[in-house]
Amino acid sequence: MAFPVTRMRRLRYHPTLRRMVRQTRLSVDRFIYPLFVRPGSEIRIPIPSMPGQFQLSVDAVVEECREVAGLGIPAVLLFGIPSHKDAVGSEAYRDDGIVQRATRAIREACPDLLVVTDVCLCEYTDHGHCGAVFERGGFRDVDNDATLPLLVKEAVSHAKAGAHIIAPSDMMDGRVGAIRAGLDQAGFSHLPIMAYAAKYASSYYGPFRDAAESPPRFGDRKTYQMDIANGDEALREVAADVEEGADIVMVKPAMNYLDIIWRVKQEFGMVTAAYHVSGEYSAIKAAAANGWISEQGAAIETTLAIARAGADLIITYFAKDLARWLRAGV
Ligand code: PBG
Ligand code: ZN
């Protein structure tokens, strides 16, 4: 018998054949594009640690959303930078808050674009933590149960402003259930919750914290975000959120947690989102700027890996680039 009978290379020899047998395909339909909104008008401030990303005023974010929608990207994820921060993040749940205003404006300008809003307090608190802080006997931490009603208020005010999907990212216990009940009570039982279900205490959020001006002023987020070493715990986190009514579950970050994405998708069969976070984006940008890797190649390979691991939805700062590349048939 001639050796070898099986030649794996036979299905690779022609580019058209490779196209035919390609198993995982990227589609713009999967992408969610994050945006940072700040007060003012005609403002477009580049974020130094995230080349290609900007802090945008409401009018500028509307312009941006027109472009995003024009590229066929179905959804944006809004983060707000308020004019004033305080201990309990009051601007997060004001009806004229920055995200609420941006949401209304985008809804009006781009009727087919979905507005997903990040529900968390770290952008709005002066201490930079994701909830209200308590101090007892020299011990300071985020107060889980005191934070829940604040998150509920924030979620309901986003819903009133027209948010299509509510995305809590704080990692408090019980917040999905609390937000579900709050939304239902306020007449928004039809609105889905995309829960940041397995969110790790990652070093890769650094550029985001510059962008959102939200680094914690003391300590870190390790008492609420997950330990980077834990896998089984992610399944318990997801199970809890599903039990509490999450419609979409998210794993975050994405690249270093492909095993978690895989396990979550296999175990729950839920619509699963993955967040390719700021540091993952900026690492590719920086290496590409130095000529060390191909930006397009690395961005596509990374996004494909996230999809192959089982992510149905991918939140990525590369969404616009990917949409253009896909359109060009790359
Ligand atoms: C806020 C929040 C963070 C990110 C999304 N929502 C930062 C954090 O938890 O410190 C990170 C996103 C990114 O790095 O792109 N809770
Ligand atoms: Zn937060």
What is the pLDDT at residue 138? 86
Domain membership of residue 174 as a residue range: 25-327
Atom of ligand 1 nearest to the CA of 225: 9
- Among all chains, which residue has been given the structure tokens 């924030």? 154
Q: Is 222 a catalytic site residue?
A: no
N-to-C CA span, the chain: 40
Q: Is residue 231 part of a domain?
A: yes
Query: Is residue 19 in a domain?
Result: no
In a domain, 11, yes or no: no
Counting the structural domains of the chain, the total is: 1
Does the residue 14 lie in any domain? no
Determine, yes or no, domain membership for 177: yes
Take residue 279 and report the two structure tokens written for it: 């540091």
Per the domain annotation, does 314 fall within a domain? yes
Q: Which one of the listed residues 85, 153, 160, 199 is annotated catalytic?
A: 199
Tell me the C-alpha distance between 163 and 270, whole Å.
Answer: 22
Closest CA to 176 of 275, 110, 238, 244: 244
Say if 272 falls within a structural domain.
Answer: yes
Q: 1 in a domain, yes or no?
A: no
pTM: 0.97
- Tell me the one-letter amino acid at 273: A
Ligand 1 proximal residues by C-beta, below 6 Å? 118, 120, 122, 130, 169, 205, 208-209, 221, 277-278
What is the residue with the minimal CA distance to atom 14 of ligand 1?
A: 205
Query: In sequence order, what E strands does 155-270 have?
Result: 165-168, 194-199, 248-252
Q: What is the rounded (10 degree) CA torsion for 297, 298, 300, 303?
A: 170
| Strand positions, DSSP E, the chain | 31-37, 44-46, 54-56, 75-80, 114-119, 133-136, 139-142, 165-168, 194-199, 248-252, 271-276, 313-316
Q: What is the per-residue pLDDT for 1?
A: 63
Encode the chain (330 residues) as per-residue pLDDT tens digits.
678 899 999 999 999 999 999 999 999 999 999 999 999 999 999 999 999 999 999 999 999 999 999 999 999 999 999 999 999 999 999 999 999 999 999 999 999 999 999 999 999 999 999 999 998 888 899 999 999 999 999 999 999 999 999 999 999 999 999 999 999 999 999 999 999 999 999 999 999 998 988 899 999 999 999 999 999 999 999 999 999 999 999 999 999 999 999 999 999 999 999 999 999 999 999 999 999 999 999 999 999 999 999 999 999 999 999 999 999 988
Mutate to test the pocket of ligand 1, among 120, 125, 252, 282 (most ligand atoms within 8 A of CB): 120
Q: How far apart, in whole angstroms, are the C-alpha atoms of residue 126 and residue 91?
A: 11
Which CATH number characterizes residue 186's domain? 3.20.20.70
Q: Ligand 2 centroid to 7 CA: how many Å?
A: 51
Q: Which atom of ligand 1 lies closest to the CA of 279?
A: 14
